[in-house]
Structure 1
Amino acid sequence: MNDDLDPSLDLSEQVHQLLCATPTGLAEYDLIQQLKARHCTHIPSLPLTDHLVLFRTHFLVFNALYRLREQLWATQSGYLQISALSIRLLPYQRGCTELSEHDPLRDYYLDMSQLKDTDEQDVAKLLSSFWSRMQGGEEQRAALELFELTDCALALTPATIKLRYRQLVSLHHPDRGGSTERLQSINKAMEILERYYGRP
Protein backbone atom coordinates (compact mmCIF):
# COMPACT_ATOMS: atom_id res chain seq x y z
CA MET A 1 0.00 0.00 0.00
CA ASN A 2 1.28 3.46 -0.83
CA ASP A 3 2.06 5.75 2.06
CA ASP A 4 -0.48 8.33 0.86
CA LEU A 5 -4.15 7.68 0.20
CA ASP A 6 -5.61 8.66 -3.17
CA PRO A 7 -7.01 12.17 -2.51
CA SER A 8 -9.64 11.70 -5.23
CA LEU A 9 -11.30 8.98 -3.15
CA ASP A 10 -14.14 9.78 -0.76
CA LEU A 11 -13.35 9.30 2.96
CA SER A 12 -15.56 6.19 3.09
CA GLU A 13 -13.57 4.68 0.19
CA GLN A 14 -10.27 5.49 1.90
CA VAL A 15 -11.54 3.88 5.11
CA HIS A 16 -12.65 0.86 3.07
CA GLN A 17 -9.11 0.46 1.67
CA LEU A 18 -7.56 0.55 5.16
CA LEU A 19 -10.08 -1.94 6.56
CA CYS A 20 -9.55 -4.31 3.61
CA ALA A 21 -5.84 -4.25 4.43
CA THR A 22 -6.57 -5.05 8.10
CA PRO A 23 -8.98 -8.02 8.21
CA THR A 24 -8.75 -8.29 12.01
CA GLY A 25 -10.22 -4.78 12.28
CA LEU A 26 -9.07 -1.52 13.82
CA ALA A 27 -10.01 0.54 16.84
CA GLU A 28 -11.26 4.03 16.00
CA TYR A 29 -8.08 5.61 17.40
CA ASP A 30 -5.88 3.39 15.22
CA LEU A 31 -7.99 4.07 12.13
CA ILE A 32 -7.66 7.84 12.67
CA GLN A 33 -3.90 7.51 13.17
CA GLN A 34 -3.58 5.52 9.92
CA LEU A 35 -5.62 8.11 8.01
CA LYS A 36 -3.47 10.93 9.38
CA ALA A 37 -0.22 9.03 8.69
CA ARG A 38 -1.32 8.55 5.07
CA HIS A 39 -2.11 12.27 4.69
CA CYS A 40 -5.88 11.93 4.40
CA THR A 41 -7.26 15.33 3.34
CA HIS A 42 -10.83 14.61 4.49
CA ILE A 43 -10.16 14.96 8.22
CA PRO A 44 -8.54 17.84 10.14
CA SER A 45 -4.74 17.76 10.08
CA LEU A 46 -4.62 19.54 13.46
CA PRO A 47 -3.64 17.71 16.69
CA LEU A 48 -6.44 15.71 18.33
CA THR A 49 -5.69 17.33 21.68
CA ASP A 50 -8.17 20.15 20.95
CA HIS A 51 -11.67 19.04 22.01
CA LEU A 52 -13.42 20.48 18.96
CA VAL A 53 -10.87 19.02 16.50
CA LEU A 54 -11.25 15.63 18.19
CA PHE A 55 -15.06 15.82 17.97
CA ARG A 56 -14.98 16.83 14.29
CA THR A 57 -12.48 14.12 13.38
CA HIS A 58 -14.52 11.49 15.24
CA PHE A 59 -17.75 12.69 13.59
CA LEU A 60 -16.32 12.67 10.06
CA VAL A 61 -14.86 9.18 10.50
CA PHE A 62 -18.12 7.77 11.88
CA ASN A 63 -20.11 9.49 9.14
CA ALA A 64 -17.86 7.74 6.60
CA LEU A 65 -18.23 4.41 8.43
CA TYR A 66 -22.04 4.53 8.42
CA ARG A 67 -22.09 5.55 4.74
CA LEU A 68 -19.71 2.68 3.95
CA ARG A 69 -21.89 0.25 5.89
CA GLU A 70 -24.91 1.24 3.80
CA GLN A 71 -22.97 0.99 0.52
CA LEU A 72 -21.70 -2.50 1.40
CA TRP A 73 -25.17 -3.60 2.45
CA ALA A 74 -26.82 -2.25 -0.70
CA THR A 75 -24.39 -4.17 -2.92
CA GLN A 76 -24.47 -7.26 -0.66
CA SER A 77 -20.67 -7.16 -0.59
CA GLY A 78 -20.10 -7.10 3.15
CA TYR A 79 -21.14 -5.93 6.57
CA LEU A 80 -19.32 -3.31 8.65
CA GLN A 81 -19.13 -3.75 12.42
CA ILE A 82 -18.86 -0.29 13.98
CA SER A 83 -17.80 0.56 17.53
CA ALA A 84 -15.03 2.70 19.01
CA LEU A 85 -12.97 -0.37 19.87
CA SER A 86 -13.64 -2.54 16.85
CA ILE A 87 -14.27 -1.43 13.27
CA ARG A 88 -14.19 -4.51 11.09
CA LEU A 89 -15.30 -5.72 7.68
CA LEU A 90 -17.31 -8.92 7.85
CA PRO A 91 -18.89 -11.07 5.12
CA TYR A 92 -22.40 -10.15 4.00
CA GLN A 93 -25.06 -12.24 5.74
CA ARG A 94 -28.49 -12.43 4.14
CA GLY A 95 -31.36 -12.08 6.60
CA CYS A 96 -29.56 -9.86 9.10
CA THR A 97 -32.11 -7.28 10.30
CA GLU A 98 -29.63 -4.94 11.95
CA LEU A 99 -29.73 -2.30 9.20
CA SER A 100 -33.50 -2.22 9.01
CA GLU A 101 -33.90 -1.54 12.74
CA HIS A 102 -33.95 2.04 13.98
CA ASP A 103 -30.41 3.06 14.90
CA PRO A 104 -30.15 6.47 16.61
CA LEU A 105 -26.35 6.51 16.25
CA ARG A 106 -26.64 6.01 12.48
CA ASP A 107 -29.19 8.84 12.29
CA TYR A 108 -26.92 11.13 14.31
CA TYR A 109 -23.73 10.52 12.31
CA LEU A 110 -25.44 10.72 8.91
CA ASP A 111 -26.94 14.12 9.81
CA MET A 112 -24.22 16.58 8.77
CA SER A 113 -26.01 19.42 10.59
CA GLN A 114 -24.83 17.78 13.83
CA LEU A 115 -21.27 18.51 12.72
CA LYS A 116 -22.00 22.06 11.57
CA ASP A 117 -24.08 22.99 14.62
CA THR A 118 -21.70 21.63 17.30
CA ASP A 119 -19.23 24.23 18.54
CA GLU A 120 -16.56 24.32 21.23
CA GLN A 121 -19.10 25.20 23.92
CA ASP A 122 -21.27 22.21 22.97
CA VAL A 123 -18.27 19.87 23.23
CA ALA A 124 -17.41 21.36 26.65
CA LYS A 125 -21.03 20.78 27.75
CA LEU A 126 -20.80 17.12 26.72
CA LEU A 127 -17.74 16.77 28.94
CA SER A 128 -19.27 18.62 31.89
CA SER A 129 -22.47 16.54 31.64
CA PHE A 130 -20.33 13.53 32.54
CA TRP A 131 -19.66 15.03 35.98
CA SER A 132 -23.24 16.19 36.59
CA ARG A 133 -24.69 12.78 35.71
CA MET A 134 -22.15 11.09 37.96
CA GLN A 135 -23.22 13.26 40.87
CA GLY A 136 -26.83 12.42 40.07
CA GLY A 137 -26.19 8.70 40.58
CA GLU A 138 -25.75 7.66 36.95
CA GLU A 139 -22.03 7.06 37.34
CA GLN A 140 -21.81 3.73 35.52
CA ARG A 141 -23.66 4.95 32.40
CA ALA A 142 -21.78 8.28 32.43
CA ALA A 143 -18.43 6.42 32.59
CA LEU A 144 -19.41 4.08 29.75
CA GLU A 145 -20.52 7.04 27.63
CA LEU A 146 -17.26 8.88 28.24
CA PHE A 147 -15.41 5.74 27.09
CA GLU A 148 -17.88 5.42 24.14
CA LEU A 149 -18.76 1.90 25.22
CA THR A 150 -22.54 2.19 25.61
CA ASP A 151 -23.19 0.75 22.13
CA CYS A 152 -20.02 -1.29 21.82
CA ALA A 153 -20.42 -4.57 19.92
CA LEU A 154 -17.71 -6.14 22.08
CA ALA A 155 -18.32 -7.73 25.48
CA LEU A 156 -17.67 -5.31 28.33
CA THR A 157 -14.80 -7.16 29.97
CA PRO A 158 -12.10 -5.66 32.20
CA ALA A 159 -9.59 -6.17 29.34
CA THR A 160 -11.80 -4.32 26.81
CA ILE A 161 -12.30 -1.42 29.22
CA LYS A 162 -8.56 -1.27 30.02
CA LEU A 163 -7.72 -1.15 26.28
CA ARG A 164 -10.10 1.78 25.75
CA TYR A 165 -8.68 3.51 28.84
CA ARG A 166 -5.14 3.26 27.45
CA GLN A 167 -6.26 4.65 24.08
CA LEU A 168 -7.95 7.63 25.72
CA VAL A 169 -5.01 8.34 28.04
CA SER A 170 -2.63 8.21 25.07
CA LEU A 171 -4.85 10.69 23.23
CA HIS A 172 -5.47 13.15 26.06
CA HIS A 173 -2.36 13.06 28.26
CA PRO A 174 -1.06 16.58 29.08
CA ASP A 175 2.49 15.49 28.19
CA ARG A 176 1.21 15.11 24.62
CA GLY A 177 -0.59 18.44 24.66
CA GLY A 178 -3.87 17.07 26.03
CA SER A 179 -6.17 18.49 28.65
CA THR A 180 -5.64 17.84 32.36
CA GLU A 181 -9.40 18.18 32.90
CA ARG A 182 -10.13 15.53 30.28
CA LEU A 183 -7.50 13.18 31.72
CA GLN A 184 -9.04 13.56 35.20
CA SER A 185 -12.44 12.62 33.74
CA ILE A 186 -10.94 9.56 32.05
CA ASN A 187 -9.20 8.44 35.26
CA LYS A 188 -12.39 8.94 37.29
CA ALA A 189 -14.40 6.98 34.73
CA MET A 190 -11.86 4.14 34.91
CA GLU A 191 -12.14 4.02 38.70
CA ILE A 192 -15.92 3.73 38.39
CA LEU A 193 -15.80 1.01 35.72
CA GLU A 194 -13.29 -1.03 37.74
CA ARG A 195 -15.82 -1.06 40.58
CA TYR A 196 -18.51 -2.45 38.27
CA TYR A 197 -16.46 -4.74 36.02
CA GLY A 198 -13.32 -5.52 38.02
CA ARG A 199 -9.67 -5.22 36.99
CA PRO A 200 -8.03 -7.14 34.16
Structure 2
Amino acid sequence: MNDDLDPAADLCDQVLELLLAAPEGVAEYQLIQQLKQRHSGHIPNLPLTDKLVLFRTHFLLFNALYRLRERLWQDGSHLLQISPLCIQLLPYQTGSAALSERDGLRDYYLDMDNLRDTDERDVERLLASFWTRMQGGEEKQAALGLFELDEQAPLDLARIKHRYRQLVSQHHPDRGGSTERLQSINKAMEILERYYN
Protein backbone atom coordinates (compact mmCIF):
# COMPACT_ATOMS: atom_id res chain seq x y z
CA MET A 1 0.00 0.00 0.00
CA ASN A 2 1.33 3.46 -0.85
CA ASP A 3 1.84 5.46 2.35
CA ASP A 4 1.08 8.70 0.50
CA LEU A 5 -2.52 7.54 0.01
CA ASP A 6 -2.84 5.98 3.46
CA PRO A 7 -4.16 8.30 6.19
CA ALA A 8 -2.90 5.92 8.92
CA ALA A 9 0.66 6.53 7.68
CA ASP A 10 0.37 9.99 9.27
CA LEU A 11 -0.10 8.31 12.67
CA CYS A 12 2.99 6.18 12.01
CA ASP A 13 4.96 9.36 11.27
CA GLN A 14 3.72 11.03 14.47
CA VAL A 15 4.63 7.96 16.53
CA LEU A 16 8.07 7.79 14.92
CA GLU A 17 8.73 11.43 15.76
CA LEU A 18 7.82 10.84 19.42
CA LEU A 19 9.92 7.67 19.64
CA LEU A 20 12.95 9.42 18.13
CA ALA A 21 12.62 12.00 20.92
CA ALA A 22 12.58 9.23 23.57
CA PRO A 23 15.62 6.98 22.93
CA GLU A 24 15.14 5.27 26.31
CA GLY A 25 11.66 4.17 25.23
CA VAL A 26 8.17 5.18 26.28
CA ALA A 27 5.20 3.37 27.81
CA GLU A 28 2.02 2.94 25.79
CA TYR A 29 0.01 5.22 28.10
CA GLN A 30 2.60 8.01 27.79
CA LEU A 31 2.61 7.69 24.02
CA ILE A 32 -1.18 7.92 23.89
CA GLN A 33 -1.12 11.04 26.09
CA GLN A 34 1.56 12.65 23.90
CA LEU A 35 -0.49 11.96 20.77
CA LYS A 36 -3.57 13.47 22.44
CA GLN A 37 -1.58 16.59 23.39
CA ARG A 38 -0.62 16.93 19.72
CA HIS A 39 -4.33 16.64 18.82
CA SER A 40 -3.67 13.65 16.60
CA GLY A 41 -6.76 13.11 14.47
CA HIS A 42 -6.17 9.34 14.57
CA ILE A 43 -6.41 8.83 18.34
CA PRO A 44 -9.80 9.49 19.98
CA ASN A 45 -9.49 12.50 22.29
CA LEU A 46 -11.83 10.89 24.84
CA PRO A 47 -11.24 9.73 28.42
CA LEU A 48 -9.73 6.25 28.60
CA THR A 49 -12.14 5.32 31.40
CA ASP A 50 -14.63 3.94 28.87
CA LYS A 51 -13.51 0.37 28.06
CA LEU A 52 -14.46 0.53 24.40
CA VAL A 53 -12.62 3.84 23.93
CA LEU A 54 -9.61 2.35 25.70
CA PHE A 55 -9.67 -0.72 23.44
CA ARG A 56 -10.03 1.32 20.25
CA THR A 57 -7.27 3.74 21.25
CA HIS A 58 -4.96 0.85 22.13
CA PHE A 59 -5.80 -0.96 18.90
CA LEU A 60 -5.17 2.09 16.69
CA LEU A 61 -1.83 2.75 18.36
CA PHE A 62 -0.68 -0.85 18.08
CA ASN A 63 -1.82 -1.02 14.46
CA ALA A 64 0.39 2.01 13.77
CA LEU A 65 3.27 0.50 15.74
CA TYR A 66 3.25 -2.77 13.81
CA ARG A 67 2.97 -0.91 10.51
CA LEU A 68 5.83 1.35 11.55
CA ARG A 69 7.93 -1.64 12.65
CA GLU A 70 7.60 -3.18 9.19
CA ARG A 71 8.40 0.11 7.46
CA LEU A 72 11.53 0.66 9.58
CA TRP A 73 12.61 -2.93 8.99
CA GLN A 74 12.22 -2.56 5.22
CA ASP A 75 14.14 0.74 5.31
CA GLY A 76 16.87 -0.88 7.39
CA SER A 77 16.84 2.07 9.78
CA HIS A 78 15.65 0.71 13.16
CA LEU A 79 14.18 -2.22 15.00
CA LEU A 80 11.03 -1.36 16.92
CA GLN A 81 10.43 -3.08 20.23
CA ILE A 82 6.70 -3.18 20.98
CA SER A 83 5.40 -3.77 24.49
CA PRO A 84 2.78 -1.88 26.52
CA LEU A 85 5.41 -1.04 29.13
CA CYS A 86 8.20 0.02 26.77
CA ILE A 87 8.00 0.98 23.12
CA GLN A 88 11.51 1.68 21.92
CA LEU A 89 13.52 2.21 18.76
CA LEU A 90 16.61 0.03 18.70
CA PRO A 91 19.52 0.05 16.26
CA TYR A 92 18.93 -1.95 13.10
CA GLN A 93 20.87 -5.20 12.93
CA THR A 94 21.35 -6.97 9.63
CA GLY A 95 20.54 -10.64 9.66
CA SER A 96 18.08 -10.34 12.54
CA ALA A 97 15.06 -12.61 12.22
CA ALA A 98 12.78 -10.18 14.06
CA LEU A 99 10.09 -10.16 11.38
CA SER A 100 10.54 -13.64 9.96
CA GLU A 101 8.86 -15.42 12.88
CA ARG A 102 5.07 -15.65 12.94
CA ASP A 103 3.71 -13.03 15.30
CA GLY A 104 0.10 -13.55 16.32
CA LEU A 105 -0.18 -10.09 17.88
CA ARG A 106 1.07 -8.47 14.69
CA ASP A 107 -1.53 -10.38 12.68
CA TYR A 108 -4.27 -9.36 15.12
CA TYR A 109 -3.44 -5.64 15.16
CA LEU A 110 -2.94 -5.36 11.39
CA ASP A 111 -6.39 -6.84 10.71
CA MET A 112 -8.72 -3.83 10.91
CA ASP A 113 -11.73 -6.19 11.07
CA ASN A 114 -10.69 -6.85 14.68
CA LEU A 115 -11.24 -3.17 15.41
CA ARG A 116 -14.52 -2.92 13.50
CA ASP A 117 -15.98 -6.17 14.82
CA THR A 118 -15.16 -5.71 18.52
CA ASP A 119 -18.02 -4.38 20.62
CA GLU A 120 -18.33 -3.58 24.32
CA ARG A 121 -19.19 -7.18 25.28
CA ASP A 122 -16.12 -8.43 23.40
CA VAL A 123 -13.96 -5.95 25.30
CA GLU A 124 -15.47 -7.18 28.59
CA ARG A 125 -14.57 -10.76 27.63
CA LEU A 126 -11.03 -9.75 26.63
CA LEU A 127 -10.53 -7.96 29.95
CA ALA A 128 -11.97 -10.88 31.94
CA SER A 129 -9.66 -13.27 30.11
CA PHE A 130 -6.68 -10.99 30.78
CA TRP A 131 -7.39 -10.80 34.51
CA THR A 132 -7.97 -14.55 34.72
CA ARG A 133 -4.54 -15.13 33.18
CA MET A 134 -2.96 -12.55 35.51
CA GLN A 135 -4.52 -14.12 38.58
CA GLY A 136 -3.34 -17.53 37.42
CA GLY A 137 0.18 -16.62 38.51
CA GLU A 138 0.25 -19.47 41.03
CA GLU A 139 -0.64 -21.90 38.25
CA LYS A 140 2.18 -20.46 36.13
CA GLN A 141 4.69 -20.70 39.00
CA ALA A 142 3.72 -24.33 39.62
CA ALA A 143 4.22 -25.15 35.94
CA LEU A 144 7.62 -23.42 35.91
CA GLY A 145 8.53 -25.35 39.05
CA LEU A 146 7.59 -28.65 37.43
CA PHE A 147 9.75 -27.72 34.43
CA GLU A 148 12.53 -26.63 36.83
CA LEU A 149 12.70 -23.24 35.12
CA ASP A 150 13.45 -19.96 36.84
CA GLU A 151 11.71 -16.76 35.72
CA GLN A 152 14.80 -14.79 36.72
CA ALA A 153 16.53 -16.16 33.61
CA PRO A 154 15.18 -15.02 30.23
CA LEU A 155 12.29 -17.27 29.24
CA ASP A 156 10.64 -17.68 25.88
CA LEU A 157 8.44 -20.29 24.27
CA ALA A 158 11.37 -21.90 22.41
CA ARG A 159 13.25 -22.51 25.68
CA ILE A 160 10.10 -23.84 27.36
CA LYS A 161 9.39 -26.21 24.45
CA HIS A 162 12.97 -27.46 24.56
CA ARG A 163 12.60 -28.23 28.27
CA TYR A 164 9.20 -29.84 27.59
CA ARG A 165 10.73 -32.22 25.03
CA GLN A 166 13.48 -33.14 27.50
CA LEU A 167 10.94 -33.93 30.23
CA VAL A 168 8.66 -35.92 27.89
CA SER A 169 11.63 -37.97 26.75
CA GLN A 170 12.76 -38.55 30.34
CA HIS A 171 9.33 -39.40 31.81
CA HIS A 172 7.59 -41.18 28.90
CA PRO A 173 5.99 -44.50 29.96
CA ASP A 174 7.80 -46.26 27.10
CA ARG A 175 11.06 -45.30 28.82
CA GLY A 176 10.03 -46.32 32.33
CA GLY A 177 8.23 -43.11 33.34
CA SER A 178 4.70 -42.82 34.65
CA THR A 179 1.58 -41.82 32.74
CA GLU A 180 0.56 -39.49 35.60
CA ARG A 181 3.87 -37.64 35.47
CA LEU A 182 3.60 -37.29 31.68
CA GLN A 183 0.05 -35.93 32.03
CA SER A 184 1.32 -33.37 34.57
CA ILE A 185 4.06 -32.31 32.16
CA ASN A 186 1.52 -31.94 29.33
CA LYS A 187 -0.81 -29.88 31.55
CA ALA A 188 2.09 -27.64 32.63
CA MET A 189 2.99 -27.11 28.97
CA GLU A 190 -0.61 -26.03 28.20
CA ILE A 191 -0.44 -23.50 31.05
CA LEU A 192 2.94 -22.10 29.99
CA GLU A 193 1.85 -21.78 26.36
CA ARG A 194 -0.95 -19.46 27.52
CA TYR A 195 1.59 -17.18 29.21
CA TYR A 196 4.44 -17.29 26.71
CA ASN A 197 2.69 -17.72 23.34
Q: Identify the TM-score tier after normalising by the shorter chain.
A: 0.5 to 0.7
Find runs of 4+ consecutive structure 1 residues off by over 2 angstroms. Answer: 127-134
Superimposed CA distance per residue, residues 97-120 of structure 1 (whole angstroms, 9 cap, x where no aligned partner): 020000001000000000000001
Higher helix share: 2
Measure, in 2, the Cα distance between the counterparts of 1:17 and 1:105.
Answer: 23
Is 1:42 aligned to residue 42 of structure 2? Answer: yes
Contact (CA 8 Å) 1:130, 1:142: kept in 2 or not?
no
Measure, in 2, the Cα distance between the counterparts of 1:82 and 1:123.
Answer: 21
Please report the TM-score for the alignment, with normalisation by the length of structure 2. 0.63
Three-state SS of the structure 1 residue aligned to 2:80 is strand
Query: What is the match of residue 122 of structure 2?
Result: 122
Measure, in 1, the Cα distance between the counterparts of 2:12 and 2:60.
Answer: 10
Please report the TM-score for the alignment, with normalisation by the length of structure 1. 0.62
Query: What is the match of residue 140 of structure 1?
Result: 137
Map 1:44-123; keep pairs closer than 5 Å.
44-123=44-123
Measure, in 1, the Cα distance between the counterparts of 2:49 and 2:84.
Answer: 18
Contact (CA 8 Å) 1:51, 1:123: kept in 2 or not?
yes
Give 2:29's aligned amino acid. Y
Superposition RMSD in Å: 2.5
Count of residue pairs the alignment pairs up: 136
Map 1:156-195; keep pairs closer than 5 Å.
none
Superimposed CA distance per residue, residues 70-117 of structure 1 (whole angstroms, 9 cap, x where no aligned partner): 000001011101001110111110011020000001000000000000
Give 2:137's aligned amino acid. Q
Three-state SS of the structure 1 residue aligned to 2:86 is coil
Percent of aligned pairs with the same amino acid: 65
Measure, in 2, the Cα distance between the counterparts of 1:66 and 1:132.
Answer: 26
Query: What is the match of residue 195 of structure 1?
Result: none
Displacement of 1:128 in angstroms is 2.8
Displacement of 1:38 in angstroms is 1.3
Superimposed CA distance per residue, residues 39-94 of structure 1 (whole angstroms, 9 cap, x where no aligned partner): 11101111100000000000000000000000000010111010011101111100
Query: What is the match of residue 194 of structure 1?
Result: none
Measure, in 2, the Cα distance between the counterparts of 1:80 and 1:68.
Answer: 8
Contact (CA 8 Å) 1:80, 1:87: kept in 2 or not?
yes
Displacement of 1:8 in angstroms is 9.7
Three-state SS of the structure 2 residue aligned to 1:10 is helix
Query: What is the match of residue 4 of structure 1?
Result: none
Query: What is the match of residue 28 of structure 1?
Result: 28
Structure 1, unmatched stretches of 5+, are 1-6, 144-155, 158-200
When Rg is computed on C-alpha atoms for both structures, the one with the higher figure is 2
Structure 2, unmatched stretches of 5+, are 1-6, 141-150, 153-197
Structure 1 pair 66/8, CA: closer, same or farther in 2 (3 Å)?
Answer: closer
Superimposed CA distance per residue, residues 126-180 of structure 1 (whole angstroms, 9 cap, x where no aligned partner): 223346667xxx712999xxxxxxxxxxxx78xxxxxxxxxxxxxxxxxxxxxxx
Measure, in 2, the Cα distance between the counterparts of 1:80 and 1:122.
Answer: 29
